[in-house]
Structure 1
């Protein structure tokens, strides 16, 4: 038998969970490009907070710099476009012309 307290507690938990889901939907993933200055490889990734993501990667590899952020989620599209240039995971061997192309085509 459900008590008055447990009913209101569960109702409150459901309300909090609904609020969290709505807040997550509001957040938008942004696609970013980061370059490893030592290897020259470019990471094409996505994050709700690319600057924070940069700092987490820099803790392991300090030579990583954020070079572009895009307002849309373009990660899959860019991974497909440059699949022949993939080195490993989300890292690609892109030249400066390819980086410039991405920046020019996808910057709003």
Structure 2
């Protein structure tokens, strides 16, 4: 018997760990694997998996855009005159590829001039690594980032962060610079 004072016979743990002989093999598998194989082989899946109803099947066909079998004949034929002529495709309004943005950090005079497809999302990404609160001051649907970095190179603190306080309001300074860049591009 066992040296342990509590009897383990019939205990759920020992039943769970016993190897089921018909699944025993020469591979070094844990005992629970054999038990799961035994349970899996004896499960009556017809009682667990519900058969697909006709309504569910029809929805699946409709979702895939496939006519349901048997409905092709019952659908009334549309006269050729009743079918509307194809409409020309509507012109798609292209979303801007990039926004140039200006972000400020609370408690400092620093602003970041950057570019992103979604400035609000970029603000949230930047906020993750910053101890101070960041605010989106301004954005425009065009790529002016490199031109603005060159324009404000004398005010660069580090990377894309600038101290534009000597120029007054940073938003006004950036807007004026964008106006100059627009004139030089045309």
Q: TM-score range by the shorter chain?
A: 0.5 to 0.7
Equivalent residue for 1:66, pick from 125, 129, 136 = 136
SS in 1 for 2:169: helix
SS in 1 for 2:108: coil
Name the structure where strand makes up a greater proportion of residues: 1
TM-score after normalising by structure 2: 0.41
The answer to whether the 8 A contact 2:138-2:171 is kept is no
Give 5+ residue unaligned stretches, structure 1. Answer: 1-24
Give 5+ residue unaligned stretches, structure 2. Answer: 1-93, 180-186
Once superposed, which parts of structure 1, at least 4 consecutive aligned residues long, lie more than 6 Å away?
A: none
SS in 2 for 1:46: strand
Structure with greater Cα Rg: 2
Aligned pair 1:86/2:156, yes or no?
Answer: yes
- Equivalence for 2:108: 39
Greater RCO (Cα-Cα under 8 Å, separation 6 or more): 1
Name the structure where helix makes up a greater proportion of residues: 1
RMSD: 2.1
What is the aligned residue count?
A: 83
Distance 2:170 2:119 in 1: 21
